Structure 1
Amino acid sequence: MSNVNLSKVNNWLHVVNKLPYLTSLYLYSCNLLNIFSVPLVNSSTSFDVLNLSNNNLTSSSSVLKWLFNSNTSVVGLDFSRNPFQGLIPDAFSKINSLELLILDDNEFEGGIPKSFSGMCNLKTLSLSRNNLSEQLLGIVHNLTRCANHSIEKLYLDYNNIMGSFPDLTTFSSLRVLWLSDNQLSGTIPESLGKQSNLESLYIGGNPFEGVISEAHFSKLTKLKVFQIYNSSLVFNFSSNWVPPFQLKQLYLVSCQLGFGLPKWLQTQKSYYWLDLSNSTILDSLSNSYWIFPNKKFYMNLSNNQISGHIPNLSLGSSFGSIIDLSSNELKGEIPSFVFRGVHLDLSKNMLSELAFSLCAANNNSLRFLDLSNNRLSGELPDCWMHFEGLKILKLENNNFHGKIQAQWAL
């Protein structure tokens, strides 16, 4: 019943309690009334899954009290996007069957209760976008006893969590770890490289320092997504390093990558998302054909010092791609394949040739095209009918001349 307005229904709890065979209840975004303090009759209702997210509920403790009165043994709880405040209630840990607990986008403070360490079935704990301010080491300690062996996904991003990055090797089942946008500092321990089940790692937006090297990834054979940004970490990899993983997504934004495009990227055959923007890359793109995956992809190499020519490739599956190579030092001709995506930004370069490659392309899916602030010259191409889906076109600050074609007036 998600997205059904129940703001005028003051007996919905009574109705729910009269449904003894109900096991899953989804009331996302229903404008529910805060009536959990209303006395309830005995009920045999036993939920497996309860979703009360985005309802402007104000008391998590009253909801939990209602759950206990309903004799329930819940497996999954989603209370995200409600203005719950204060400390996270200990009562969650009394639900021994709980495997999934989502408390995102609330206003919880402090840290995780010590009692959470006994949640032996907990697999996913999500506390993104709250006001947690405990030391990360304390959070880890309060999950260490039983929960650390079961937790597979831990989301703590966008909080005010402080301290250093602790040793997490006791979290043997951990597959997903999100710690972005907190106040974590210090170095990242090499023990991170022992998390052999880790698939997704988000640690950007923290003031880490020191070096990140091959040792930090030594046993991460299952890693698919790695994200870090706004970091002063020094990346130190040997030129012939072959990672143990095959990434699908890589975000190294506003980092200090050094002089060239990471050579180890040549070993990655599966990625479709690459963001290395604003990362002090000084390199030539001319022979870096391997940087473009042969599939639909997102690529952002903007705000670097990348020079040379864009390789003239014939990627047959680049339709739907997004490419941003703006604010670099690219020159020469723009190859046809880059016009086959939906978004292309080549602004603020030194590109000089356009007409042939543009007219050789044919793509009604292209929506955004920015070629401004280059050295393009000659008459404006007259083949814009090849791009009927184009919504935004920027050509200012080039050297075009001649007449504007009649079709531009349409």
Structure 2
Amino acid sequence: MSLSVIDLSWNNLVSSSIYHWLFNLNASLVSIDISYNVLQGPIPDAFGNMLSLKDLYLNDNSLDGGIPKSFGNLSCIHSLYLSINHLNEQLSQILQNLTGAAQNSLEILNLNQNQISGSLPDFTKFSSLKELYLGRNTLNRSFPLSFGQISNLIFLHVFSNQISGPLPDMSIFHLLKELYLSNNRLQGMLPKSIGQLSKLEILGVSSNSLEDSVIVVWGLISQKWLRTQNNFSELDISYVGISDTIPDWFWDLSPRLHFLNLSYNQISGIVPDLSLKLVDFPGIDLSSNCFNGLIPSLPPKATLVYLCKNMFSGSISHFCANNKFVGELPSSLQNCTKLSVINLGENKFAGEIPAWIGTHLTNLIILSLRQNEFYGSIPPRICHLDHIQILDLSRNNISGNIPRCLNNFTSLVKRNSSSETIKIELVSYSGSGY
């Protein structure tokens, strides 16, 4: 039984001697993986003589130049991974060098994050392609009409280039699951045919110059596509100039959705309770919009949440309590001088209670630090909280004397039942322990 698979990835291979070793092997290699090394220089022609090769992984090295013409001889080649190198050939030349036996078998071509230039060429000869990754290069000009001939595409990534002009008809890409077009110079409207891509899971169109994208996103696609899609897992429509409210149905999105990016638009309105709408949702970016009202309750499994640069108002007590925050209170909190409610209870904050709470947060009505790991004494400066009505420091490791000046807190509220809720002006607090 002869050797067929070589995996030398994630090493520190720097010498071209590894090539001589590979090419001298008396074996019909099917898969070669020398990715994640520090190989430099051009790709050797001799790879083109390995006619049994199906999968070649050269990604994440420092290779330069282009793809040798001999690669066109690889009649069995299935996947070619060359991403994250320094390849600087024109894309049209790369395809020309792959023309031949390879064009009929190649299904995956990954050239992401190189220095490949030129316009998008005619891919008609590569009808077997299923995955095409061209992101983070310097490709320019517009999509050729013939681009639509590669109808078997499932993944198409052309983000972060300089591609301009309108998008072609997308209806032929009926198998497409991922379409990344972000960070280009695309113009015109999103084609109506995108609404016909029933298998699409990820659509990225942010950071382009698409016209009337609001009408397209909230009109055609929203009604005839988004509302009927149950498969997509990521939706990025940031930087597209939306200046509308979010329709109610929008929050009842695909149950598979794990990242939603609506940032850098002009979206207004109130965000609903996301803990009920997006139960298994780990990532959401609503930053740099005009959302108002209370900060929404978040999905219980959220790991990334961006709400900055909006117009949210009101209490944030529910937002921070009953988590697993650790460490000392950040000193930057003292800059929030207009805060009236702080509820950081039931976390794992530690350290001494900062004295700046009393000198900088003088508008506090409610302060709850209960059930943490604070230690030391109560700082006397906390007596500067003239408006305080609820002070809860219970279930910590606080020691020492209680400052006598706490007797001056004439507005403190006493609660008789552990289950009742105290309402103070526009603030509701349901904590316990004070």
Asked if Structure 1 and Structure 2 have the same fold, meaning a TM-score greater than 0.5 normalized by the shorter chain, the answer is yes
Corresponding letter in the other structure for 1:53: S
Aligned residue runs from structure 1 range 117-136, under 5 A? 117-136=72-91
Question: Within 1, Cα distance between the matches of 2:272 and 2:366?
Answer: 31
Map residues 2-17 of structure 1 onto 2, 5 A cutoff.
Answer: none
**Aligned pair partner of 1:406 in 351, 369, 394:** 369
Among 243, 248, 253, the residue aligned to 1:282: 243
Q: 1:158: Cα distance to partner?
A: 1.1
Deviations 1:250-284 (CA, angstroms, capped at 9, x unpaired): 22232234452714133432112122233333222
For 1:193, give the aligned amino acid. G
Q: SS state of the match for residue 109, structure 2?
A: strand
Distance 2:284 2:102 in 1: 42
Distance 1:256 1:349 in 2: 24
Matched to 1:276, the amino acid is I
Q: Deviation string for 1:116-144 (max 9, x for gaps)? A: 11100000011111111111111101111
Partner residue, 2:143 = 188
Q: CA deviation at 1:225?
A: 1.0
Quote the residue 2:197 is aligned against.
Answer: 244
- In structure 2, C-alpha distance between the alignment counterparts of 1:83 and 1:315, rounded to whole Å: 48
Pick closer, same or farther for the CA change 1:189–1:290 going to 2, 3 Å.
farther
Distance 1:286 1:332 in 2: 16
What letter matches 1:211 in structure 2? P
Matched, 1:56 2:17: no
Q: Which residue identity does 1:118 align to in structure 2?
A: N
**1:63 Cα deviation after fit:** 2.7
Q: Please give the TM-score of this superposition, normalised by the length of structure 2.
A: 0.70
Instruction: Flag the structure with larger Rg.
Output: 2
**Equivalent residues in 2 for 1:238-387 (5 A)?**
242-257=195-210, 258-260=212-214, 262-263=217-218, 264=221, 265-287=226-248, 289-290=250-251, 292-295=253-256, 297-312=258-273, 315=276, 318-338=279-299, 341-354=302-315, 358=319, 379-380=340-341, 382=343, 384-385=345-346
Superposition deviation, residue 242 in structure 1: 2.5
CA displacement 1:81-134 (0-9 Å, x = unmatched): 233222211110111100000111222222111111110000001111111111
Give me the TM-score of the superposition, normalised by structure 1. Answer: 0.74
Equivalent residue runs for 1:10-49 within 5 Å: 46-49=2-5
Q: 1:87 to 1:314 in 2, by over 3 A?
A: closer
How big is the shift at 1:293? 3.1
AA partner of residue 51 (structure 1): D
Task: Tell me the distance in 2 between the aligned counterparts of 1:335 and 1:406.
Answer: 22
Letter in 1 for 2:174: T
Mapped pair 1:228 → 2:185: no
Structure 2: distance between partners of 1:399 and 1:74: 73
Taking only the aligned residue pairs, the percentage that are identical comes to 38
Q: Tell me how far apart the structure 2 counterparts of residues 240 and 163 of structure 1 sit (CA, whole Å).
A: 27
Tell me how far apart the structure 1 counterparts of residues 122 and 274 of structure 2 sit (CA, whole Å): 45
Matched, 1:171 2:126: yes
Distance 2:373 2:114 in 1: 51
CA contact (8 A) 1:295 1:317 kept: no
Q: List gaps (5 residues or longer) in structure 1.
A: 1-20, 22-45, 366-371, 390-397
Amino acid in structure 2 at the alignment position of 1:196? S
1:3-48, CA deviations, whole angstroms, 9 ceiling, x for partnerless residues? xxxxxxxxxxxxxxxxxx6xxxxxxxxxxxxxxxxxxxxxxxx321
CA distance in 1, matches of 2:307, 2:363: 16
| Aligned pairs (5 A) from 1:209-228 | 209-213=164-168, 215=169, 217-228=170-181
Query: 2:363, 2:292 → 1: CA distance?
Result: 16
Q: How far 1:179 sits from its partner (Å)?
A: 0.5
Structure 1 residues 402, 244: closer, same or farther in 2, change over 3 A? same
Report the Cα distance in structure 2 between the residues aligned to 1:238 and 1:130, rounded to whole angstroms.
33
Cα distance 1:239–1:219, how it changes in 2: closer, same or farther (>3 A)?
closer
In 2, Cα distance between the equivalents of 1:109 and 1:281? 41
1:105 to 54, 60, 68: 60
* Aligned mates of 1:329, 1:122 — CA distance in 2: 51
Deviates more, 1:321-330 or 1:226-235: 226-235
CA-based RMSD? 3.3
Q: Secondary structure at the match of 1:142?
A: helix
Q: What amino acid is the match of 1:236?
A: M
Amino acid at match of 2:304: H
SS in 2 for 1:191: helix
Aligned counterparts of 1:254 and 1:291: Cα–Cα separation in 2: 25
* Pair 1:71 & 2:26 matched: yes
Long gaps (5+) in structure 2: 326-332, 350-360, 375-434
Deviations 1:145-199 (A, max 9, x none): 1101101100111111111101112111111111011111100123333322111
